[in-house]
Structure 1
Amino acid sequence: MSVVRSATHADRRVIAFDGKALRGARDSTGNLPFLLAGLCQVTGTILAQVGIAAKAREVPGLRKLLATLDIAGAVITADAAHCCRETAETITTAGGNYILTVKNNQPRLPARLKTLPWKHVPVPDISVGSGHGRRERRMLKATAIDAGIGFPGAERVLRMSRTRTDRKAGKRGTEIVYAITTLTASDASATMIATWLRGHWGIENRAHWVRDVTFDEDRCRARTGHAPQVFATLRNTAISLVRLVGRSNIAAALRHYAHEFSRPFELLMAC
């Protein structure tokens, strides 16, 4: 497990959690090991990591990982698998806040959220982006939960509508996703929450992708025992250190620090 310093965004720490398989490795039972990590959305540093026996154990694994961190005042983002009462209670009891996507692992909750009077809720945040031949228009609505929904600490419901247009094929599709949060309107604006929701997936391209592509993690020869997790922790540490000194291109940074033996020591001193 690795721990490095975090940073704040609008006076809050925002931490995204997600799991990653070590595809070139096998644990003592011959199964594919998974690592669950938390990424600071502001700095792109990996704050902590824990090994889990299988992807199915990711949900209790998050509660185990949260217990190692001081999350008081922090905002925790996680995908729909972690939208359960036990995890919500763990976060709120520790003084943290959450933004959790809601899907069918909570059978009754999505249906209940869909019936809220969304037509009468204003649209405080609209953003448009493009890339990979697609144009995406994102619209977020947020409404307070006056009667409650029986979910620990939930204060607001979020409705995110994403319309994607494939410019080449001329096809358009719309996806609607719901989320719940402990953050009230006075805690965070809808625009800020929309930024954190989009920032959650930064853990994929700022941590998982870097380890897969820049470090070629899946072809690492250390494949058994604790070695894969140890090497993954070292990669996380390297990524975090170079980001803490303001470098965003990890591959270029690695070449820079490998050029002279003294540079890694200078990096450690700078952090």
Structure 2
Amino acid sequence: EQASVAKLHVVSAFLSDMSLSLGQERVSIKENEIVAIPKLLDDIDIRQGDVVTIDALGTQKKIVEKIVEKQADYLLEVKDNHLKLRQNIENDAEYLLISGRKNDFIKKAEETTEGHGFMVTRTCISCSEPSRLGFCYRDWKNLRTYGIIKTEKINIATGEIQNEKHCFISSLVNNPKLILKYKRKHWAVENGLHWQLDVTFNEDDGRKMMNSAQNFSTLTKMALTILKNYQDEDKKTS
């Protein structure tokens, strides 16, 4: 029990374009990630033109206000932690998709990629009329665009199909191609950072605690950045 209590949890900011960890915030026993994220946003240099993406846990009004305060944009996942908002987004986007209505505020983009034995099709339906969400849209500062991203993943060998649906809110202008681009980068963090730290550096199974765990986490992220950005493939292991 003592070991589990002392186990360190860290919230990280990751620049996907460069595979670079910009900073990290230690989450203490009395806090949680929702408290840590605004602190981390204060520590890193984000400004106008930057786009912050966070998992659904970070879709919080105060976090949105912090991002807007720093003049950056946000693209955030909406799940059942904001059930009414998610339902309104999903219902409205589905209605607009089925109705086939042609309006300037409704846009759609689709892309298909193939690799690792799968064919993946992503469809983004975005809308720039947040008032359609009801009064709850007023809770989110600078909310301009909302919608859903549907993902169909086909196993080429077996034909098995997996479907996912993601709701989002954003301060970005209504550009579904751009939204898909940023969401792909966000999803890539799982493989580019979390999976690497867990599997390559064995962080989750490590026995280090508190300060030593935090220091080790900093070093592994530095090493990961060097490996990701070092172009000479023949010398990466030297």
Match of 2:33 among 14, 36, 58: 58
Equivalent-residue separation in structure 1 for 2:112 and 2:43 (angstroms)? 37
Cα distance, 1:106–1:252 mapped onto 2, change above 3 Å: farther
In the alignment, structure 1 residue 79 sits paired with structure 2 residue 55: yes
Does 121-130 or 104-113 show the bigger shift? Answer: 121-130
Q: For 1:51-83, what per-residue CA distance to the aligned partner results, in whole angstroms no more than 9, with x for missing partners?
A: 113698112211111111121121100111111
SS of 1:49's partner is strand
SS of 1:216's partner is coil
RMSD over equivalenced CA pairs, Å: 2.7
Match of 1:95 among 71, 76, 81: 71
In the alignment, structure 1 residue 172 sits paired with structure 2 residue 161: yes
Equivalent-residue separation in structure 1 for 2:151 and 2:29 (angstroms)? 31
Please give the TM-score of this superposition, normalised by the length of structure 1: 0.73
- Residue identity matched to 1:83: T
Contact kept in structure 1, 2:120 and 2:153, CA below 8 Å: yes
Equivalent-residue separation in structure 2 for 1:174 and 1:86 (angstroms)? 32
Q: Give percent identity, aligned residues only.
A: 22
Equivalent-residue separation in structure 2 for 1:248 and 1:56 (angstroms)? 42
Q: CA deviation at 1:140?
A: 0.8
Contact kept in structure 1, 2:46 and 2:70, CA below 8 Å: yes
Q: CA deviation at 1:214?
A: 2.7
Q: How does 1:115-264 map to 2 (within 5 A)?
A: 115-116=91-92, 117-119=95-97, 120=101, 124-147=108-131, 149-150=137-138, 151-185=140-174, 189-220=175-206, 223-244=208-229, 246-247=230-231, 253=236, 255-256=237-238
Please give the TM-score of this superposition, normalised by the length of structure 2: 0.82
- Residue identity matched to 2:180: A
Q: For 1:169-220, what per-residue CA distance to the aligned partner results, in whole angstroms no more than 9, with x for missing partners?
A: 43334322110100114xxx32122111011022222222222233333454
1:106 counterpart residue number: 82
- Unaligned runs of 5+ residues in structure 2 are none
Cα distance, 1:108–1:146 mapped onto 2, change above 3 Å: closer
- Unaligned runs of 5+ residues in structure 1 are 1-24, 257-271
Q: Say how many residue pairs are matched.
A: 223
Contact kept in structure 2, 1:123 and 1:139, CA below 8 Å: no
Contact kept in structure 2, 1:154 and 1:180, CA below 8 Å: yes
Cα distance, 1:65–1:197 mapped onto 2, change above 3 Å: same
Q: For 1:16-49, what per-residue CA distance to the aligned partner results, in whole angstroms no more than 9, with x for missing partners?
A: xxxxxxxxx947xx34321111111211111101
SS of 1:63's partner is helix
SS of 2:173's partner is coil
SS of 2:210's partner is coil
- Residue identity matched to 1:238: A
Equivalent-residue separation in structure 1 for 2:186 and 2:30 (angstroms)? 19
- Residue identity matched to 1:226: N
SS of 2:82's partner is coil
Contact kept in structure 2, 1:143 and 1:158, CA below 8 Å: yes
SS of 1:39's partner is strand
Q: CA deviation at 1:242?
A: 4.3
Runs of 4+ in 1 over 6 A off after TM superposition: none
Contact kept in structure 2, 1:127 and 1:137, CA below 8 Å: yes
In the alignment, structure 1 residue 49 sits paired with structure 2 residue 24: yes
Contact kept in structure 1, 2:13 and 2:22, CA below 8 Å: yes
- Residue identity matched to 1:240: T
Answer 1 or 2: which has greater helix percent.
Answer: 2
